[in-house]
Amino acid sequence: MLPGFRPDGYAALVLALGAIADGLPPDLDRPEVLRLLTEWRVVTGEGADRSCDHGLARLLVERADRPAGAGPVAPHTAVRRRLAETPVVLFDELTAAERAWLRGRLPAEAELFADLLGLEAEVRSEGVALLDPADELTDLPAAGTDPLAQTALLLAERLVEELRPLPEEAAPPAVLVPDALIDGALGDIADDYGLPPCTGPDYLADRTALRRDALDLLHAMQLIVPAGRNWVLRAPAARYAPQAELHPEPGTGRHSRPGGLPGPRRRLG
């Protein structure tokens, strides 16, 4: 146990350390997290002179994932870690032992995470997501307040529209995204909604930067994952794809399907 840390503090520490390891700006608002990372020399300096040691953060994350000399990770440890650290855990991505353990423990684990971290478990046929009603345990920008996040989730919506299976087809846990479909969808989004304001890259002049940043954000949300030089759309994308106030007609391209989008969706604010 670390002095001054409660369960939500541990969660904030993991998120901050993971963000630094990935080269992303960490949330250091909690004083106990900033104090500990400063003691560990992961964070140095103050204010505008503050810097983060990405290499040291990666080393700490790797050591935490697999202590030196440790044997195989027990199924319950591996599954709980994935539930706490990733937005969604799909059953098909677990080992047989992990999958069997989780299916047999779902009610008890849902209660455990609710008690410890205040997270609500959403169980579907594809897997399990832990939702944060207070929106406190994430280091990703909310779609309602961040223009790039809005663009990324609109991209997820378009990809879901184009790639969802026919009603008589079984829904796969993931599907390969044609590369040209990403560019076409981003072009349609730019035409229908405009581009994110230029707080960093000039997306109007650099569509490559927009594509990169939108895909990186969807990857961080685990809605898409890389597959060589391509991307794979994961089943949870249908759950989180937003329905914007301005909603064009369903796609008519070669990959489009008739009908509505399955599953509940969030409306952009």
* Mean pLDDT to the nearest integer, 179-198: 83
Tell me how far apart the alpha carbons of residues 8 and 30 are, in angstroms, rounded to a whole number: 10
Residue 248 has a pLDDT of 43
Residue of 136, 129, 147, 124 lying closest to 217 (CA atoms): 147
For residue 138, is it within any domain? Answer: no
* DSSP annotation string for the chain: --TT--HHHHHHHHHHHHHHHTTPPP---SHHHHHHHHHTTSEES-GGG-EE-HHHHHHHHHHHHS-TT--PPPHHHHHHHHHHHSSEEEGGGS-HHHHHHHHHHHHHHHHHHHHHH-PEEEE-SSEEEEE-TT--S--S--TTT-HHHHHHHHHHHHHHHHHPPPTTSPPPSEEEEPHHHHHHHHHHHHHHH-----SSS-TTT-HHHHHHHHHHHHHHTTSEEEETTEEEEETTHHHH----SS-PPPP-STT--SSPPPS--PPP-
* Same domain as 126, residue 14: yes
* Same domain as 56, residue 168: no
Residue 137 has a pLDDT of 61
* Same domain as 176, residue 116: no
116: which 2 tokens?
């410890």
Whether 249 has a pLDDT exceeding 80, the answer reads: no
* Same domain as 158, residue 124: no
For the chain, the average pLDDT equals 75
156: which 2 tokens?
């997820």
* Same domain as 122, residue 23: yes
* Mean pLDDT to the nearest integer, 198-212: 76
Query: Structurally, how many domains does the chain consist of?
Result: 2
CB 210 within 8 A of CB 151: yes
Tell me how far apart the alpha carbons of residues 36 and 17 are, in angstroms, rounded to a whole number: 11
User: What CATH number did the domain enclosing 234 receive?
Assistant: 1.10.10
* Same domain as 159, residue 52: no
Report pLDDT digits (tens) over 82-138: 887 776 788 888 888 888 988 888 888 888 888 877 888 888 878 888 777 776 666
What pTM was computed for the model?
0.53
CB 61 within 8 A of CB 81: no
Residue of 265, 263, 261, 264 lying closest to 162 (CA atoms): 261
For residue 265, is it within any domain? Answer: no
CB 17 within 8 A of CB 57: yes
Q: Which residue has the higher pLDDT, 11 or 64?
A: 11
Report pLDDT digits (tens) over 48-92: 788 888 878 877 776 655 544 555 667 888 888 888 777 678 888
Owning domain of residue 158? 147-240
For residue 2, is it within any domain? Answer: no
37: which 2 tokens?
């990372």
Tell me how far apart the alpha carbons of residues 126 and 174 are, in angstroms, rounded to a whole number: 10
Least confident of 20-24, 110-114, 228-232, 262-266: 262-266
